[in-house]
Amino acid sequence: MSDTDLAFASIEEVGKLFRKRKLSPVELTKLMLGRIERLNPKLNAFLTVTTELALAQAKKAESELFAPRGRKGHHDRGPLHGIPISLKDNIYTKGIRTTAGSKILKDFIPQHDAQIVVWLKEAGAVILGKTNMHEFAYGVTSNNPHYGPVHNPWDLARIPGGSSGGSAAAVAAGLCYGSIGTDTGGSIRIPSALCGIVGVKPTFGRVSVKDVIPLSPHLDCVGPLARTSADAARLLDSIFVRGKGEPSLQSATKPSRARRRFRLGLPKGFFSDVVSPEVELTFEHALRLLRRSDCNLKEVSIPLLVETEDAGNQIAWAEATHYHQRAGWFPARVGEYGEDVRTRIEMGAKVSATAYLQAMEVRYSFIEHFHAAMASASVDALVVPTTPIPAPMIGEETTTVCGTNHPTRSLLLRSNRPANLGGLPAVSVACGFTPEGLPVGLQLIGAVTDEHLLLRIAGIFERSLPLDRRPPI
């Protein structure tokens, strides 16, 4: 296997090589560090590279995995043992700078790890570093005014999406085998779609957000970005809070002899109201593949979808501003924010208590109506385009769709915000490319706690559509 083949291998493939002693975690970590050194100047995906920590963790993993079975020192911690990953830079890491992509926290070094980092270390993951992001996770481009823009590995002139843009670019370019990001209005799924990888937003509360710098506490989620649904399941499984008797997520993406026809809902309107022709064409092809892969598709009506945009905005604006006021940064350090983030925080200061409470009422009503509609239609999940457009150019503030100009930010958020408002699990999976060679994402949205089901459907879809997942960087 060449170094390039190895860089784009799956977590399962790498794990098998470790356990056959055909590859060591140290060798693999050095390969990843070498690729970061060579490619990160083009991508700007990493803000901090933790070379010494990564090599120390890799050496420990090697000694545990390579010690003779049954002898003192042998310890197999599972599928992530020795696997190099990255973390979005708003997640606390002990002794490692955590900037949240901001100037305000440019020198902040936490004294402890976030809970999810503790669990990842216990699983034996090797942490390569911290990834670039939209400032304070408050945007969808990852065009960072303090540390420079992240570039999409499929076209360096385009955005990778955000706010977990550095994570997505690093995974897509083969600089790590997975990353942990955050999602408040699509910040895992948007960059996953634009970079041609898989992103999972779990059910609200199923993954700890403790010591993750918040944006909107009622909407924030933590989840994985990976090249395949199977890799995403392995990452999520290590930080996921499962219910009693609930199966491992890793079992979801394995081929099964027991065949089941899944029922997928195509929402009427909203998601399909504004879609670029190239995305629509790719999405329609994906639907045909789903129909051939034991999936029945039917139109469904989901109430209050249009209302999710304003309700999500009101909640995020108010809660983000409250956090920044409580931290003592706003308005005291207003000049240290990038223009777009400062503008949104100022907007949050104008949200009235009544408007906030009304938005929360819409949230509760949407959750109730969503589950009732899913049950009434007897569908397992919704299937929609993750974003209505492929990756825009860096700095592109408006995008034309079918002759009409739209704010690029609103377009990218449009199909993603409903799952955050409803606390619903959602998976974005690559479903093809535009004629220009830009990735397109397909999103599956399910009822609460349906992560296993969504990952199973994603795995079935991936097997129906083998894709070249190596960008031309």
Tell me the pLDDT tens digit for each residue of 361-392.
999 999 999 999 999 999 999 999 999 999 99
Please tell me the total number of residues recorded for the chain in this structure.
Answer: 473
Asked if the model's pLDDT at residue 245 lies above 90, the reply is: no
Residue 260 CB neighbour total at 10 angstroms: 11
| Whether 312 contacts 420, CB under 8 Å | yes
Strand partners, 152: 155
pLDDT at 258: 66
Q: What is the pLDDT of residues 11-69, one digit of tens each?
A: 999 999 999 999 999 999 999 999 999 999 999 999 999 999 999 999 999 999 998 88
pLDDT of residue 256: 72
Identity of residue 225? L
Please give the single-letter amino acid code of residue 242.
R
Strands in 46-49's sheet, in edge-to-edge order, are 46-49, 126-131, 84-88, 179-183, 221-226, 198-201, 426-433, 439-445, 381-385, 262-267, 295-300
Q: Measured between alpha carbons, how far is 246 from 244 in angstroms, rounded to an integer? A: 5
Stretch among 76-80, 217-221, 233-237, 399-403 having the lowest mean pLDDT:
399-403
Rounded Cα–Cα distance for residues 468 and 451 (Å): 26
- Give ∠ CA 460-451-389 in degrees, rounded to 5: 70
Q: How far apart are CA 368 and CA 361, in angstroms?
A: 11
Q: State the chain's mean pLDDT as an integer.
A: 96
SS3 104: coil
User: Average pLDDT of 118-129?
Assistant: 98
**CB-CB contact of 246 with 343 (8 Å):** no
Residues 6+ apart with CB under 8 A from 65: 18, 19, 25, 74, 75, 76, 81, 82
Q: Is the pLDDT of residue 411 over 70?
A: yes
Those residues with Cβ within 8 angstroms of residue 237's Cβ, 6 or more apart along the chain or in another chain: 79, 248, 249, 250
Mean pLDDT of 309-330: 98
Enzyme catalytic residues: 88, 163, 187
Percentage of the chain modeled with pLDDT above 90: 92
Q: How many other CB atoms are found less than 10 A from the CB of residue 141?
A: 28
Q: Residue 473: pLDDT band by 50, 70, 90 thresholds? A: confident
Structure token digits, residue 288: 């045909």
Residue 427, SS3 per DSSP: strand
Residue 257: is its pLDDT beyond 90?
A: no
Q: Could you check whether the bond before residue 163 is cis, i.e. omega within 30 degrees of 0?
A: yes
Task: Give pLDDT tens digits for 168-225.
Answer: 999 999 999 999 999 999 999 999 999 999 999 999 999 999 999 999 999 999 999 9
Is the whole model's pTM more than 0.75, yes or no? yes
Which has the higher per-residue pLDDT, 29 or 245? 29
- 467 pLDDT above the threshold of 90: no
- Is the per-residue pLDDT at 472 higher than 70? yes
Q: How far apart are CA 227 and CA 197, in angstroms?
A: 5
Output the pLDDT for position 266.
97
Evaluate if residue 70 carries a pLDDT over 90.
no
What number is the average pLDDT over the span 131-147?
98
**Does the structure show a pLDDT above 90 at 73?**
no
pLDDT at 390: 98
239 and 222 Cβ atoms separated by less than 8 Å: yes
**End-to-end CA, the chain:** 20
Judge whether residue 86 has pLDDT over 70.
Answer: yes
Q: Tell me which of 442 and 244 has the higher pLDDT.
A: 442
Backbone region of residue 373 per phi and psi (left: phi > 0; alpha: psi in -120 to 50; beta: other values): alpha
pLDDT of the residue at 312? 97
Q: Distance between CA 222 and CA 63 in Å, rounded?
A: 31
The structure tokens listed for 135 are 């400032």
Which band of pLDDT confidence, cut at 50, 70 and 90, is reported for residue 129?
very high
- 3-state class percentages of the chain: helix first, strand second, coil last, to nearest 5: 40, 15, 40
Using CA atoms, how far apart are residues 132 and 48, in angstroms rounded to an integer?
Answer: 8
**Cis-peptide, bond into residue 331, ω within 30° of zero:** yes
